[in-house]
Amino acid sequence: MSEKKSYLKPTIVRHSVGVTNKFGRPPITVPQDRIEGLTIGELTNLHGSPLYVLSVEQLRNQYRDMDRAFKTRYPRTQIAYSYKTNYLKSVCSILHQEGAWAEVVSGFEYDIARDLKIPGEKIIFNGPYKSHEDLIRAFNNDSMINVDNYDEIQVCEDISVELGRKLSIGVRINMDLNNPPWHKFGFNVEAGHAFDAVKRIQAGGKLEVVGLHIHTGTYVDDVNIYSMAAQGLVNFYTYIKNQLGVTLKYWDIGGGYASHNTLNWAWQSSEYTCPTFDQYAEAICPILMNGPFQGNEAPQLFLEPGRALVDEPFTLITTVVAQKRLPGGKRGIVVDAGMNVLSSVQWYNYSFQTAQDSGLTTEETVLYGGLCMNIDVLRPSISLPPVRRGDHLVIPHVGAYNISQSWQFIYLRPAIIAIDKGNIHVIREKENREYVQQGEYVPDEFSIS
Ligand SMILES: Cc1ncc(COP(=O)(O)O)c(C=O)c1O
């Protein structure tokens, strides 16, 4: 007996199939039916939906491309992967295999790096709040610690007394580079705060400044901002070298490099606006090379990329669970993944591709996430071809922040798999209720007898 088809209310939609008009032909939707040669259906049959999929080769290639672009222009470059972007152990480990060091912003992240056998001296410890215990551990392991504020300087000085030795530190600085400027972190250069901080640290006699750190923002697709930051680093280093006799072992120009995702408010697609690693490197390295040192004394240059390394290698597979007609006539589609596993929909105009051939017709659609929450809208307006319940929509470039910022809400979080040379590896199992509720208790007083 053939399967009964589900009922869909008929509607009239104006079509312009294949018609050339003054804007050219309407876009043809090319289905993305495979990842790394494996069909979407195959992957969801094995591991469910929604499903995050990592392409290992793509991750390695992103790293290698960035490393090459900078090392050919500034040989003492070292990439320290920004853990918070995606601290899945497999992701960090693959990047460490490629040669990355770790950039962490909490004791929790520090422990992940140590657990992966990263030696302390290959860990950079940043952030506005590092606990006393975490700092002691990091100093004892000879990690690079970039101080953020005077309170932290005081804590580091106390630790110097506790450990009975002078401690090396880096200082995070900020400059008026973007609009609005990033003033939350570190000491401002233009206001003179950065110079005062270095002077105060050096005068205290317990700490020694050996590094400078700046992170100009996130998704910075204007390479001029990096050029200005690099020039600012050179100027500031020259000044503290002349005035205070500081010699840097490293300078760290942070992360922020854009990925191939288009921001919600962007005028143009990231295809046209996202700089290449070569363009970033060209904007930074020649300027830094003019710093106050001979070539062989160049400080080590740290980069702390996050999204530019891990966004593109990850794809999220979703499944259509329902569709409806909205009062204004627009179509609504509901998929089984919500903003709890795709929090970057706040920033990114993600592309959603069908996994099946759905013809040439497209229709303006509101794409809803599956959470029972009105704000769970993945795209308020997107042109999509006809789909049915059970069809898949594939979202490329989802690796940055979505997984580390995902939250368990209403549904359990999906499995995460990696595809490497045709082999599938589960790198995080689908969550289960026991895991979510572990550590919860119902005291006898609250129990139903
Ligand atoms: C200090 C620091 N380094 C690196 C990064 C990584 O940034 P992104 O993912 O934009 O490259 C961040 C993120 O904001 C950061 O705060």
CATH assignment at residue 253: 3.20.20.10
Is pLDDT of 336 > 60?
Answer: yes
Q: What is the pLDDT of residues 50-102, one digit of tens each?
A: 999 999 999 999 999 999 999 999 999 999 999 999 999 999 999 999 999 99
Asked if residue 412 lies in contact with residue 430, where contact means CB atoms within 8 angstroms, the answer is yes
Mark whether 127 and 213 lie in a shared domain: yes
Mark whether 262 and 374 lie in a shared domain: no
Mark whether 161 and 243 lie in a shared domain: yes
The predicted pLDDT at position 180 comes to 86
| 31 pLDDT tier (thresholds 50, 70, 90) | confident
Is pLDDT of 297 > 60?
Answer: yes
Asked if residue 189 lies in contact with residue 175, where contact means CB atoms within 8 angstroms, the answer is yes
Mark whether 142 and 131 lie in a shared domain: yes
Which residues, 6+ apart, have CB-to-CB distance to 236 below 8 Å? Answer: 173, 189, 194, 195, 212
Tell me which of 215, 221, 253, 312 to substitute to probe ligand 1's pocket, judged by most ligand atoms within 8 Å of the beta carbon. 215
Task: Please identify which residue in the block is written with the tokens 């408010």.
Answer: 265
Number of separate domains in the chain: 2
Percentage of the chain beyond pLDDT 70 is: 95
Please indicate whether residue 18 or residue 338 has the higher confidence score (pLDDT).
338
The predicted pLDDT at position 17 comes to 47
Residues framing ligand 1 (Cβ under 6 A)? 82, 85, 103, 126, 215, 218-219, 254-257, 304-308, 400
Mark whether 81 and 140 lie in a shared domain: yes
| 323 pLDDT tier (thresholds 50, 70, 90) | very high
Tell me which of 304, 347, 397 to substitute to probe ligand 1's pocket, judged by most ligand atoms within 8 Å of the beta carbon. 304
CA nearest to 408, candidates 441, 434, 374: 434
Mark whether 384 and 266 lie in a shared domain: no
User: What is the CA(82)–ligand 1 centre distance, in A?
Assistant: 6
Domain contains 205 = yes
State the Cα–Cα distance between residues 132 and 85, nearest whole angstrom. 24
Classify strands 314-325 and 51-55 as parallel, antiparallel or unpaired: antiparallel
Mark whether 194 and 334 lie in a shared domain: no
| 14 pLDDT tier (thresholds 50, 70, 90) | low
- State both tokens at 374: 């009105």
Residue that terminates a domain, selected from 310, 335, 368: 310
Q: Which residue type occupies 69?
A: A
CATH assignment of the domain containing 344: 2.40.37.10
Helix count (H) and strand count (E) of the chain? Answer: 12, 20
Q: Per residue, what are the HEC states of 298-338?
A: CCEEEECCCHHHHCCCEEEEEEEEEEEECCCCCEEEEECCC
Is pLDDT of 360 > 80?
Answer: no
Q: Which atom of ligand 1 is nearest to the CA of 257?
A: 11
| 3 pLDDT tier (thresholds 50, 70, 90) | confident
User: What is the CA(316)–ligand 1 centre distance, in A?
Assistant: 22
Q: Which atom of ligand 1 is nearest to the CA of 219?
A: 10
The predicted pLDDT at position 23 comes to 53
Alpha carbon nearest to ligand 1 atom 10, residue: 256
Domain contains 4 = no
Mark whether 197 and 64 lie in a shared domain: yes
User: What is the CA(193)–ligand 1 centre distance, in A?
Assistant: 22
For the full predicted model, state whether its pTM sits above 0.75.
Answer: yes
Domain that holds residue 229: 56-310
User: What is the CA(23)–ligand 1 centre distance, in A?
Assistant: 39
Average pLDDT, rounded, for the chain: 94
User: What is the CA(77)–ligand 1 centre distance, in A?
Assistant: 17
Alpha carbon nearest to ligand 1 atom 14, residue: 218
Mark whether 261 and 381 lie in a shared domain: no
Q: Which atom of ligand 1 is nearest to the CA of 400?
A: 9
Q: Which atom of ligand 1 is nearest to the CA of 401?
A: 9
